[in-house]
Amino acid sequence: MDKVFVQGLEVLTTIGVYEWEKGIQQKVRFDLEMGYDNAPAALGDDINKALDYAALSQKVTRYAEQNHVELVETMAEQIAQLILTEFAVQSVKVRLTKPNAVANAAGVGVEIERFAN
C-alpha cells in the first residue's frame, strides 16, 4: 500500500479537560499518514490523480481550530473520520501530540489508525 504523509502540522486550538485550558489556545501537532494508490498519478505525472495534501492539511487545520474538545483521543478520532469522509483514502493514521502537556516531556498524545469501509 502506498502512503502519503503530512508531518508536523501544527495548529492552535482549545483542547483540555481543565478549566484553565478551556479559555486558552494550545498548540497541537498532527502527523498524518494516508493509504492511497499513487500509481495513477505517477504513471501519468498527473496532479489531478494525486492526493491533495495541501487541501487535506487546510481541512484538518480549519477543523481543529474551529472544534474544541477536551481529549486528544476525541480530536484524533474526529480528524481520522474527517479525512476518511472527505478524501478518497483507504486508511488513515493520525498521531496527535500535545507538546508541553507534561512538564518533563516533549509531548504526549495518541496514535490511531482507521480504515475506509
CATH number at residue 34: 3.30.1130.10
User: If pLDDT is split at 50, 70 and 90, which confidence band does 8 have?
Assistant: very high
Considering the candidates 3, 59, 93, 98, report the single residue annotated as catalytic. 98
Identify the domain containing residue 87 by its residue range: 3-115
> Percentage of residues in the chain with pLDDT exceeding 90?
97
Candidates 38, 22, 39, 29; CA nearest to 6 is: 29
Active-site annotation holds for 93: no
The model's pTM is: 0.96
Q: Which stretches within the chain are classed as H helix?
A: 39-44, 53-66, 72-86
Question: To the nearest whole number, what is the mean pLDDT of the chain?
Answer: 97
In total, how many domains does the chain have? 1
Q: Name the pairing type of β-strands 26-35 and 107-115.
A: unpaired
Q: For 83-115, what is each residue's pLDDT tens digit?
A: 999 999 999 999 999 998 999 999 999 999 999
Alpha carbon 107 to chain centroid distance? 16
pLDDT score for 100: 85
